[in-house]
């Protein structure tokens, strides 16, 4: 009963954070007129205005600004060089299962759920708020129902989502990503 109450409380807190950030979209009348692909339109507009995170998010949504391999390679290089935690987070999905079998394009730390987690943890290590009240943890809670009483993303991943051997591999990949950031200064 106590565990159930903790989960319910965490889900409510996540819901409240989403509502406070997206106030107008909680209204059912407005939601019905909201076009499903409006997010892509807004991300394209932001990417054209210079938002690297928006551009990386488009790659993760399988709708990159350009589809050629040179563009993707250049975008990934710009994300790595940027040290922008939001860009690292935005590209993390593209570095996951979508990159499977495409190491020559996406690099060594790609192609699995573990690599997606590694990119997210790298984003945390360079400044993304990965605490229980941060946007990423809110997303895990509200979208995935993962509302354990984890104080941060690292705890959530290593205590609830992966096995011990996967943890070792994710830590290795995260260290590789972060050391590449540090060494490219």
pLDDT in tens, 96-129: 999 999 988 888 899 999 999 999 999 999 999 9
Least confident of 13-17, 23-27, 152-156: 23-27
Beta bridge partners of 152: 131
- Average pLDDT of the residues of the chain: 84
Place of tokens 């975008």: 75
Of the pLDDT bands very low, low, confident and very high (cuts 50, 70, 90), residue 181 is: confident
Q: What is the pLDDT of residue 113?
A: 96
Asked whether 148 and 156 are in contact (CB, 8 A), the reply is yes
What pLDDT does residue 149 have?
Answer: 65
Check pLDDT > 80 for residue 2: no
pLDDT, residue 12, reads 64
Task: Give 31 or 148, the one with higher predicted confidence.
Answer: 148
Residue 172's pLDDT band, with cuts at 50, 70 and 90, is: very high
Question: What pLDDT is stored for residue 49 in this prediction?
Answer: 96
- Report d(CA 105, CA 71) in Å as an integer: 10
- Per-residue pLDDT tens digits for 26-44: 444 444 345 557 888 999 9
What would the mean pLDDT of 119-147 be, rounded to a whole number?
88
Instruction: Please state the rounded mean pLDDT for residues 161-175.
Output: 96
- Find the farthest-apart pair of alpha carbons in the chain and give their distance in angstroms, rounded: 54
Measuring CA to CA, how many Å separate 83 from each of 65, 101, 151?
21, 26, 24
**Residue scoring higher pLDDT (23 or 125):** 125
Residue 150: which pLDDT band, with cuts at 50, 70 and 90?
A: confident
Tell me what pLDDT residue 165 has: 96
């Amino acid at each position: 009963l106590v565990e159930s109450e903790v989960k319910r409380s965490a889900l409510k807190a996540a819901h409240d954070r989403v509502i406070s950030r997206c106030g107008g979209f909680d209204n059912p009348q407005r939601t019905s007129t909201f076009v499903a692909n409006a997010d892509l339109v807004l991300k394209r507009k932001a990417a054209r205005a210079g938002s690297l995170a928006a551009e990386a998010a488009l790659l993760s949504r399988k709708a990159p600004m350009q589809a050629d391999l040179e563009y993707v390679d250049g975008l990934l290089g710009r994300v790595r060089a940027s040290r922008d935690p939001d860009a690292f987070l935005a590209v993390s999905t593209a570095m996951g299962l979508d990159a499977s079998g495409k190491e020559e394009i996406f690099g060594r730390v790609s192609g699995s759920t573990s690599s997606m987690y590694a990119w997210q943890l790298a984003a945390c290590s360079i400044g993304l708020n990965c605490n229980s009240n941060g946007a990423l943890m809110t997303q895990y809670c509200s979208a995935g129902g993962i509302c354990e009483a984890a104080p941060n993303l690292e705890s959530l991943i290593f205590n609830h989502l992966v096995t011990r051997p996967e943890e070792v591999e994710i830590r290795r990949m995260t260290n590789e990503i972060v050391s590449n950031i540090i060494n490219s200064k």
